[in-house]
């Protein structure tokens, strides 16, 4: 006798064949009957690219068997800006305004790494005051970036108070950076040869006040999250990636240090005088999401120590190299609108010799020539090793700008952290990677 089900398709769950296998469209009806009919096929879902838990525009293609992730893939490119290629059509100084927009949560690290690479090609070194100021700004930026990681991670896992507290503290960082550089984000303050201008007169008092505020508030995160049983249950043992996995996948930053290796560019390959600063590199051995959370909290405490030392190390002096063929626009005076040159600055330029005026015009429009060669310079960003590979043919613009962005490399760890776990734990794993898509797609 022929089974009637062989002749009539399921009215409640019609099926169709796709490149991903058989797909069932459930339209309602008797759920008991549907469950009894046992479809063995796995479900493929798209998480993102518009999902709030995928940090902007990251698309995760997840293959599920019930609630368990059997396969996970990252799909990137939705935020592609062509910044690397754009830099090749701009002068070396103009490139700063592009690279600062890549990892937009850590813009000052991109500026510093790019400028260190340009300076290495030029064979110059920024003045002492500029170097200390760069360290100061980067460590403030590191605190702000880690706060966003904790805040968004808390929001994605349901700890909304952690989110509001994290963004409250981050506002303190952005207010201070705006006071020091003129902008909250995308500062273009660090330039080849030094800084765009000196810090404000009372910068030290503002930074010292900030340190006091943060020292009083950071312990709140331990009370709010670290020992909170639900927070621990959501993170402990989740997103596990041991040391051999980190090394095989090229992971750096908190992911690598959570597996026990104290690898930090500030210690292993010091730059900008980091060897003079007294700070620790926090590590853990659990290699899970909870360890990465604790490391970021610990790193904020260490950054505060570095900021405090930078305030004491700051000495009077220039913030740009003396070479007039490079030093634009170190002596820039901002107008009252905060945008253009002040009238006094314009009068000063116009009042000098015609040769000086022509030189200033050519420097601003054409830029300076950089000797032919290629360099790679890494720095320790909040997410790991951020490296710039620059190639010059001796002209006023780069031939090639390529960035080793830590978010891009670290994103490779997502399948290793997620496959075999629950779909809810994918969110915790991605949050612990802390990818910034501006740096991934660039």
Angle of CA points 244, 245, 251, to nearest 5°: 105
Neighbours of 440 (CB within 10 A): 26
Question: Is 353 contained in some domain?
Answer: no
pLDDT band per the 50, 70, 90 thresholds, residue 323: confident
Q: In whole numbers, what is the pLDDT of the chain averaged over residues?
A: 85
Question: Are 89 and 71 members of one domain?
Answer: no
Question: Is 264 contained in some domain?
Answer: yes
Question: Are 101 and 50 members of one domain?
Answer: no
Is it the case that residue 257 has pLDDT exceeding 90? yes
Question: Are 67 and 25 members of one domain?
Answer: yes
Whole-number Å distance between alpha carbons of 153 and 162: 9
Determine the average pLDDT of the residues in 325-341: 60
Question: Is 348 contained in some domain?
Answer: no
For tokens 């003079």, what's the residue?
276
Predicted confidence (pLDDT) per residue in 142-171, tens digit: 999 999 999 988 888 888 888 898 999 999
Which whole-number Å values give the CA distances from 201 to 91, 170, 218, 328, 441, in the listed order? 31, 23, 28, 21, 39
> What percent of the chain has a predicted confidence (pLDDT) above 70?
86
Q: What's the domain count of the chain?
A: 2
Identify the pLDDT of residue 7.
47
Question: Are 17 and 115 members of one domain?
Answer: no
Concatenated DSSP letters of 392-429: E-SSSS-SEEEEE-HHHHHTTHHHHHHTTSBHHHHHHH
Question: Is 347 contained in some domain?
Answer: no
Question: Is 417 contained in some domain?
Answer: yes
Is 54 or 205 the better-scoring residue by pLDDT? 205
Question: Is 344 contained in some domain?
Answer: no
Phi, psi of 193 (to 5 degrees): 100, -10
Whole-number Å distance between alpha carbons of 139 and 264: 14
Question: Are 244 and 127 members of one domain?
Answer: yes
Is it the case that residue 5 has pLDDT exceeding 50? no
pTM: 0.86
pLDDT band per the 50, 70, 90 thresholds, residue 304: very high
Question: Is 14 contained in some domain?
Answer: yes
Question: Are 148 and 188 members of one domain?
Answer: yes
Determine the average pLDDT of the residues in 300-319: 92
Is it the case that residue 332 has pLDDT exceeding 80? no
Neighbours of 83 (CB within 10 A): 21
Contacts of 174 (CB under 8 A, 6+ apart): 144, 184, 185
Question: Is 256 contained in some domain?
Answer: yes
Concatenated DSSP letters of 84-122: HHHHTTS-TTTHHHHHTTSSTTSHHHHHHHHHHHHHHHH
Task: Show which of 75, 97, 121 is a domain's final residue.
Answer: 75
Question: Are 319 and 243 members of one domain?
Answer: yes
Question: Are 64 and 172 members of one domain?
Answer: no
Predicted confidence (pLDDT) per residue in 105-123, tens digit: 999 999 999 999 999 999 9
Q: Which CATH number does the domain housing residue 188 bear?
A: 1.10.645.10
Domain residues for 172? 83-328+367-441
Task: Show which of 26, 59, 75 is a domain's final residue.
Answer: 75
Is it the case that residue 336 has pLDDT exceeding 60? no
Is 131 or 32 the better-scoring residue by pLDDT? 131
Identify the pLDDT of residue 335.
56
Question: Are 144 and 180 members of one domain?
Answer: yes
Question: Are 121 and 256 members of one domain?
Answer: yes
Task: Show which of 32, 57, 75 is a domain's final residue.
Answer: 75
Please list the residues that pair with 391 across neighbouring strands. 374, 400
Question: Are 65 and 95 members of one domain?
Answer: no
Whole-number Å distance between alpha carbons of 141 and 82: 24
Identify the pLDDT of residue 46.
86
Answer whether 187's CB lies under 8 Å from 107's CB: yes
Question: Are 65 and 105 members of one domain?
Answer: no
User: In 21-67, at which residue ranges do the beta strands (DSSP E only) sit?
Assistant: 21-24, 43-47, 59-65
């Amino acid at each position: 006798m022929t089974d009637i089900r062989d002749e009539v398709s399921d009215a409640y769950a019609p099926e169709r064949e796709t490149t991903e296998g058989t797909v069932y469209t459930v339209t309602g009806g008797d759920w008991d009957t549907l469950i009894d009919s046992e479809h063995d096929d796995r479900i493929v879902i798209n998480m993102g690219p518009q999902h709030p838990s995928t940090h902007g525009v990251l698309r995760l293609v997840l293959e599920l068997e019930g609630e368990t992730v059997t396969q996970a893939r990252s799909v990137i490119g939705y935020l592609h800006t062509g910044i690397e290629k754009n830099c090749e059509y701009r002068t070396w100084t103009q490139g700063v305004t592009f690279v600062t927009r890549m990892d937009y949560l850590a813009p000052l690290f991109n500026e510093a790494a790019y400028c260190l690479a340009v300076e290495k090609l030029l064979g110059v070194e920024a003045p002492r005051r500029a170097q200390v100021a760069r360290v100061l700004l980067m460590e403030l930026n590191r605190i702000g970036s880690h706060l966003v990681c904790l805040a968004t991670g808390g929001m994605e896992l349901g700890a909304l108070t952690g989110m509001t507290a994290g963004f409250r503290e981050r506002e303190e960082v952005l207010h201070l950076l705006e006071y020091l550089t003129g902008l909250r984000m995308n500062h273009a303050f660090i330039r080849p040869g030094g800084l765009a201008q000196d810090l404000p007169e009372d910068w030290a008092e503002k930074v010292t006040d900030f340190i006091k505020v943060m020292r009083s508030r950071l312990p709140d995160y331990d009370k709010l999250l670290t020992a909170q049983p639900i927070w621990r249950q959501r993170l402990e043992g989740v997103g596990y990636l041991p040391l051999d996995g980190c090394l095989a996948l090229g992971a750096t930053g908190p992911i690598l240090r959570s597996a026990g290796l104290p690898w930090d560019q500030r210690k292993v390959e010091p730059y900008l005088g980091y060897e003079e600063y007294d700070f620790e590199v926090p590590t853990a051995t659990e290699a899970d999401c909870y360890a990465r959370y604790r490391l970021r909290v610990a790193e904020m405490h260490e950054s505060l120590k570095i900021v405090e030392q930078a305030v004491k190390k700051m000495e009077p002096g220039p913030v740009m190299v003396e070479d007039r063929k490079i030093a634009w626009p170190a002596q820039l005076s901002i107008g009252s609108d905060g945008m253009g040159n002040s009238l006094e600055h314009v009068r000063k330029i116009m009042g000098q010799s015609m040769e000086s005026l022509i030189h200033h015009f050519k420097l601003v429009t054409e830029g300076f020539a950089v000797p032919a060669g290629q360099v790679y310079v890494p720095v320790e960003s909040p997410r790991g090793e951020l490296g710039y590979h620059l190639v010059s043919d001796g002209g006023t613009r780069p031939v090639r700008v390529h960035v080793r962005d830590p978010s891009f490399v670290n994103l490779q760890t997502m399948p290793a952290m997620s496959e075999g776990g629950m779909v809810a734990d994918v969110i915790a794993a991605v949050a612990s990677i802390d990818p910034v898509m501006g740096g991934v797609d660039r």
